Amino acid sequence: MSKRIFTQEQINELTKNPGVLRCSEKSITYCQNFKLTAIKRYQEGLSPTAIFVAAGFNLALIGRKAPKDCLRRWLALYRKKGETAFTKENRGGPGRKVSERRMTDKEKIKYYQAQIAYLKAENAFLVKLRKQR
């Protein structure tokens, strides 16, 4: 991650770009459509820098390495999961807990049942350990 800190003025400039979903002091979140378009243009032979400049990004603002780094990450995701990687929220890995607010009732029940089963197994293991002493 870059140590670059965006000013409010720079954040306002970046959020005006249609390829930007949101922007904070430390990071830029790009729109899913922009990511897919960038990947397709890259596969057609355009350079990452040319893609970002054509999309209206100021390289002095986002950093000269940003286009190449972003496309490298996006291409890896695209190769692994296809277009679906950019059509839904994919943050976090297999061990990352999903926010309960985003879970349906069925997903919450399944999650809590798994948590209960884990805790029961953990308790049974601890009981066995105590008996061995």
For 5-48, the pLDDT digits (tens) are 899 999 999 999 999 999 999 999 999 999 999 999 999 999 99
Whether residue 105 sits in one domain with residue 55: no
| Lookup result for tokens 């209206």 | 56
Whether residue 81 sits in one domain with residue 104: no
Whether residue 73 sits in one domain with residue 18: yes
Q: What is the pTM of this model?
A: 0.65
- Per-residue pLDDT averaged across 89-107, rounded? 66
Whether residue 81 sits in one domain with residue 109: no
Identify the band that residue 106 occupies on the pLDDT scale cut at 50, 70 and 90. Answer: confident
Q: Pick 101 or 63 by higher pLDDT.
A: 63
Identify the burial level of 123 via C-beta atoms within 10 angstroms of its C-beta, where 0-12 means exposed, 13-18 middle and 19 or more buried. Answer: exposed
Whether residue 57 sits in one domain with residue 20: yes
Partnered with residue 22 across adjacent β-strands are: 29
Q: Which domain holds residue 124?
A: 100-132
CA-nearest of 49, 48, 4, 52 to 24 is 4
Identify the band that residue 2 occupies on the pLDDT scale cut at 50, 70 and 90. Answer: low
Whether residue 81 sits in one domain with residue 19: yes
Residue 14 in domain: yes
Residue 63 in domain: yes
Number of domains in the chain: 2
Residue 3 in domain: no
Whether residue 71 sits in one domain with residue 23: yes
